[in-house]
Chain A
Amino acid sequence: MVSDETPDRDEPPQGGWVGRRMPRVEDPYLLTGRGVFVDDIDLPGTLHLVFVRSNFAAASIEGIDVTEALLVPGVVAVLTADHIRDVIPIRGYLDRAEFTVTDMPILAAEVVRHVGEPIAAVLADSPYAAEDGAEAVDVTYGVTAAVADFEAALANGAAAVHEAAPNNVLVDITLDPSPDLDRVFEQAPHVVDVEVSTGRLAASPMEGRACLSYYDDRTQQVVLHSSTQVPHTVRTAVAASLGLGESRVRVISPDVGGGFGVKCVVAREEVLVAAASRLLGRPVKWIEDRREGLTAGFQSREQRYTLSGAFDELGALQALRADIMCDVGAYSCFPYSCGVEVLMAANELPGAYRVPMYRVRSRGVATNKPPIAPYRGVSRPQAVLAMERLMEKAAKAVGIGPIEIRDRNLVARSEFPYRNVNGALYDAGSYRESLARCAELVEYDSWPTKQADARSDGRLLGLGISSFCEPTAYGTDAFGARKMSIVPGYEQATIRMDPNGSVVMMVGTHSHGQGHATTYAQIVADRLGIDPSRISIRQGDTDLVPHGWGTFASRSVVAGGGALDSAANTLAEKLRQIAAHLLEAAPQDLVLADGRAQVKGSPSRSIAVEELARVAHHASNRLPKDLGRGLEATESFDPQGTYSNATHAAIVEIDPQTGGVTILRYVVVEDCGVMINPMIVDGQVTGGVAQGIGGALLEELVYSPEGQPLAGSFVDYLLPTATDLPIVEVHHFSTPTDRTPMGAKGMGEGGTIGAPAAVLNAVNNALVHLGVQLERVPIRPSDVIAVMELASADRGVVP
């Protein structure tokens, strides 16, 4: 089934709940300010924690004087590394020879490795007193040489961030599946080179990180409320650091104000808050402020790609050679390690294109900056940027258009399932179809005329395309291949029907804006034949839900939805058996629909699901013992991975005076298989594009050569506002996958993945007549002006 239609808003009930634009059940409480985020929880006797963080990128700690701080009214304690010697540092680990293990201290003891590294924690009766106390802590530093980017880190004689890695390379991966690659390059009619780089970003969810911990004597548990995407993973890491078994730690993640990946890893602060509460015997709360978020939180995206592509006469890519560098900062995050961007970049660079031969070296370079964590799309926005620049340049070299070169190289529908050069097996998609449709929507054929007309009016317009696929929902096989210390991937779900016929879903994923309470209920409602309003969710509490891996990597609808679907089927089967007994029919003759169990072909013989639930709980003596008691099912799902795809097109205008870029139009044609709730899909795409545009035009964590952050507020780190963004036109194809029961694919990151390439290609298209091109994002106005001046200097013309 291929359609370019989204279902109407008020589609009638027949045909099930999946596929409908249902309003979200989360909205009423969030719209009335009744959400519960971590800082909304006030416990009596809470101590407020403020960190003392390093002012220098590289230094030895010569002394920490807390005398004055302890005199500040309200300050109760100041903790340093000495107080938490028994707390084990965080270790993000890959079991592979190409990886150097480094530990991330909870509080720095002898040395600091980036500005913002936590050195001490001040605990006081109020956050105000704690801030006063933190100002009064006097740290004496012995400042040493810092390396602030990968050029500096790889230079001869560069200071080593870690003794264990004297050359500052923490991960160094080579994939070389094609021994004949060099010969192909020697004989190729066209060899095209590209070097692309991307700036460092902060995911910047509107709610920063936040923790509240206390000890529950009744259950003998350390309870940690944390604004996290991955409650069980936080439990694992905090338990390990505190030397406790996992069942002695309960992590509760209440409402989460956005995550985008920065909350899918475990932070030092989470461990320290739990440790401080244990040590002081009182609840301890830490609420990250925005400056901490930007300068001391996890960062991402700073990469450089050097590509060579060998193309035949017709523009078909024959072989791809790549050298990739990722600035991974000073430490390894848990559980993915600092290899997270490095490995994904190497594995997924070929993307949606047929790459018969491939060789890549991908390095993670340590610098004196905060560590990286996954951020929406991880390495894909950068890898797609590199490939899309390669395609643009190749089109020019071969003498064909941007649409033609992509169409020639995108995997065709007839080739699915497609095994790529790295062994990944793609499920079916609409790679070429989405390209063609997108080109049609932006009237690509008439673009040269439009552009020329605009140019004759003195306007610089550009149109840029990007085509890509989005691997989503890795399972345990894919994560296992990375050789992490723990292997995420599967998901579990429990579905319980209460005596009144209402259903509770308990699942290990954790929604932080994606609307799982709504979409999951749509899936389960179809299986149980009941109204979604009868179904509620429990999530984000390690004591309440089965062990699971949280929400990241576009996995929830696939892994969580898959587990829920399976559990709902098990429960539905039990309901049919109960109904069969009560109606004296065969279970296989019963269907669940409209809130009833009905005998097929005999509409008068039916029983309400509420009655089945009541009997199962309160009159189970009427049921055979071999049916078992209760109405609860737990199932798991371990996904094979699904591949969504899309083509984006951006039309931009450059202001020749300021170098500013305005996006005039933005079109997405995407395919994520069956959409559970098209309204939410459109919201994810649009929000994703906004973040991609932010990274393309506005956002960058700039550092000085000494490793000092120059963007410490939203005045310097520019998030897109409503006047910076276009209305994103979202169109759909729907190629159902056979890898999930619903035919749905993951799709949370695609918007962000495609946008930087579309925008950069559009800007370059606007500059094409000047013979200059940009190969870096974010595209700053000064970069645009600089290349335009370069062009006019070269040609003696005024642009």
Chain B
Amino acid sequence: MKDIHDIEITINGERRAVTVESRRTLADVLRHDLGLTGTHLGCEHGVCGACTVLVDGLPARSCLMFGVQADGREVETVEGLGTPENLNTLQQAFMTEHGLQCGFCTPGFLMLLTALLRENPNPSDDEIRDVVASNICRCTGYAGILRAARLAADSDAIAT
């Protein structure tokens, strides 16, 4: 028994129409229905945060959300940040501070910190650390991620 829904999501500013089963996760909608494979799945139970996207501006685990729950909402993914030729301030800070190794968890951290820096452009180191602790990175030990967030926050350019 399948129940099918036609939904519309504004993704990175572009309206996209998709037909989904009720149980289809937002992560699968993004990755496999819309081809936005920059959002990654690390645990599929909401702990690691690799799949973090912004829904109406707030960080959300796209593995714990159904696609239908995003109907009519605005979703931002890593594909909506800078391009390889023109990284945004936060992405550039990750590169400068070696905030990534394998790069699998990185899109989740970028979206998480994008939301932080919009809400609080001048976070303290402790505030950064608390937010970074929402997600898991197995490669870096977080040092580079923390430095990158600090650098992005301190930079004159608007971080996101």
Contact = CB atoms under 8 A, between A and B. Distances in A.
Interface of A: 23-24, 26-37, 39-40, 42, 73, 128, 204-208, 255-258, 260, 287, 289-290, 512-515, 679-680, 682-683, 686-691, 713-715, 719-725, 727-728, 751
A206 B104 contact: yes
Contact of A31 (B39, B94, B132): B94
B102 A512 contact: yes
B134 to A, nearest CB: 8
Nearest to B80: A33
Interface stretch (B40-48, B54-62, B64-72, B151-159): B40-48
A258 B138 contact: yes
17 contacts: A28-B95, A31-B110, A32-B87, A35-B38, A35-B103, A37-B40, A128-B24, A206-B105, A206-B139, A255-B102, A256-B102, A690-B141, A714-B45, A719-B138, A722-B142, A723-B129, A728-B143
B140 interface: yes
Contacts of A679: 98
Contacts of B21: 128
Interface in B79-100: 79, 81-85, 87, 91, 94-96, 98, 100
A512 B138 CA distance: 12
Contacts of A206: 40, 42, 48, 50, 102, 104-105, 136-139
B124 interface: no
B4 interface: no
The secondary-structure label for the interface of chain B is loop
B110 to A, nearest CB: 7
B139 A513 contact: yes
B10 interface: no
A208 B32 CA distance: 18
A522 B64 CA distance: 42
Contact of B141 (A27, A290, A713, A725): A725
B140 A687 contact: yes
Contacts of B138: 204-206, 258, 260, 687, 691, 719
Given A30-B100, A721-B135, 17 more contacts: A32-B82, A33-B78, A33-B107, A204-B138, A206-B139, A207-B40, A256-B102, A257-B40, A257-B104, A258-B102, A260-B138, A679-B98, A686-B140, A690-B140, A690-B141, A723-B129, A725-B142
A683 B101 contact: yes
Nearest to A29: B84
A728 B104 contact: no
A33 B38 contact: yes
Interface residues of B, number: 60
Nearest to A204: B138
A713 B47 contact: yes
B103 A30 contact: yes
B121 interface: no
Contacts of A680: 98
Contacts of A27: 94-95, 100, 103
Given A689-B141, A722-B146, A714 B136 contact: yes
Nearest to A255: B103
A154 B37 CA distance: 49
Given A37-B40, A723-B130, A31 B141 contact: no
Which of A715, A722, A728 has the most C-beta atoms of chain B within 10 angstroms of its own C-beta?
A722
A514 B85 CA distance: 22
Contacts of B45: 290, 713-715
B123 interface: no
B43 to A, nearest CB: 4
A165 B106 CA distance: 46
B106 A30 contact: yes
A701 B101 CA distance: 25
Contacts of A721: 132-136, 142
Interface of B: 2, 21, 23-24, 31-32, 35-45, 47-48, 50, 77-79, 81-85, 87, 91, 94-96, 98, 100-107, 110, 129-130, 132-146
A32 B78 contact: yes
Nearest to B105: A206
Most buried by B among A30, A204, A713, A719: A30
A24 B101 CA distance: 9
A255 B40 CA distance: 12
A205 B43 CA distance: 10
Closest A-B pairs by Cβ, 7 of them: A33-B38, A257-B104, A30-B103, A690-B141, A513-B102, A513-B101, A33-B78
| Residue among B35, B40, B87 with most chain A CB within 10 A | B40
B42 A207 contact: yes
A535 to B, nearest CB: 18
A39 B37 CA distance: 8
> Which of B38, B94, B133, B138 has the most CB atoms of chain A within a 10 A radius of its CB?
B138
Contact of A714 (B47, B104, B141): B47
B142 A40 contact: no
Contacts of B87: 28, 31-32
Contacts of B145: 722
A727 B79 CA distance: 31
Contact of B48 (A128, A255, A714): A714
A721 B39 CA distance: 20
Contacts of A29: 84
Interface centre among A205, A258, A260 (most CB of B within 10 A): A258
B37 A33 contact: yes
B142 A32 contact: no
Contacts of B79: 32-33
A73 B23 CA distance: 15
A679 B94 CA distance: 13
A260 B48 CA distance: 18
Contacts of B48: 206, 290, 714, 719
Contacts of A723: 129-130, 133
A725 B50 CA distance: 19
A544 to B, nearest CB: 21
Contacts of A691: 138, 141
Given A31-B91, A32-B82, A258 B104 contact: yes
A686 to B, nearest CB: 4
Given A28-B95, A257-B40, A40 B133 contact: no
A713 B78 contact: no
Contacts of B142: 690, 721-722, 725
Given A513-B102, A722-B133, A32 B96 contact: no
B137 to A, nearest CB: 7
Contact of B140 (A24, A514, A683, A714): A683
A634 B23 CA distance: 52
B44 A289 contact: yes
A728 to B, nearest CB: 6
A207 B23 contact: no
Contacts of A33: 36-39, 77-79, 107
A770 B141 CA distance: 33
B79 to A, nearest CB: 5
A206 B142 CA distance: 14
Contacts of A260: 138
Nearest to B110: A31
Contact of B132 (A23, A257, A714, A722): A722
